[in-house]
Amino acid sequence: MLGRSLALGAALLGLAALEEPALAQGAGEQFLPRLVYRTGAYAPNGIPFANGAADYYTMLNERDGGIGGVKVVMEECETGYATDKGVECYERLKSKGATGAAYVSPLSTGITFALTEKVFSDKIPLLTLGYGRSESRNGAVFPWNFIALGSYWTAADVAIQHIAKELGGMDKLKGKKISLVYHDSPYGKEPIPALQLRAQKNGFEFTAIPVTHPGVEQKSQWLAIRQNRPDYVLLWGWGVMNSVAIQEAAAVAYPRDKMIGVWWSGAEPDVTPAGDKATGYKALLLQHPAGKFAVHADIEKHVYAKGQGVGKDTLGQVLFNRGLIDSMIGSEAIRTAQGKFGKKPLTGEQVRWGFENLNIDAARIKALGFEGMLAPFKFSCADHQGADMARVHQWDGKAWKVISDFYTADRSLLDPLVADAAAKYAAEKKITPECAKS
Partner 1 sequence: MLYREAGQFKSSYSADMAMFPIRQDRIALALLLVVAFFIVPFVASDYFLRAILVPFLILSLGAIGLNILVGYCGQISLGAGAFMAIGAYSTYKFTTGVHLPLDWFGTEISIPPLAVLPSILLGGFMAAIVGILFGIPSLRIKGLYLAVATLAAQFFFDWVFIRVKWFSNYTPSGSVAAPELNFFGLVVHSSIERYLLCLAFVTVFAFIAKNLVRGSLGRQWMAIRDMDIAAELMGIRPFYAKLTAFAVSSFMIGISGALWAFVYLGAWEPLAFDINRSFQLLFMVIIGGLGSILGSFLGAAFILILPIFLDQVPHALGIPISVETISHLVFIIQGSLICYLLIVEPHGFARLWAIAKEKLRLWPYPY
Contact residues: partner 1, CB under 8 A:
14-15, 17-21, 24, 36, 38-39, 43, 75-78, 80, 83-84, 87-88, 91-92, 94-95, 109-110, 113-114, 116-118, 121, 133, 184-186, 189-190, 192-193, 210, 213, 310, 421, 425, 428-430
Give 313 or 396: the residue with its C-beta nearer to partner 1. Answer: 313
Give 281 or 425: the residue with its C-beta nearer to partner 1. Answer: 425
What minimum distance in Å lies between the beta carbon of 433 and partner 1?
16
What minimum distance in Å lies between the beta carbon of 233 and partner 1?
21
What minimum distance in Å lies between the beta carbon of 93 and partner 1?
9
What minimum distance in Å lies between the beta carbon of 75 and partner 1?
7
Give 43 or 173: the residue with its C-beta nearer to partner 1. Answer: 43
| Residue 387, beta-bridge partner list | none
Give 240 or 290: the residue with its C-beta nearer to partner 1. Answer: 240
Give 127 or 310: the residue with its C-beta nearer to partner 1. Answer: 310
What minimum distance in Å lies between the beta carbon of 41 and partner 1?
12
Give 214 or 291: the residue with its C-beta nearer to partner 1. Answer: 214
Give 75 or 205: the residue with its C-beta nearer to partner 1. Answer: 75
What minimum distance in Å lies between the beta carbon of 19 and partner 1?
6
What minimum distance in Å lies between the beta carbon of 245 and partner 1?
19
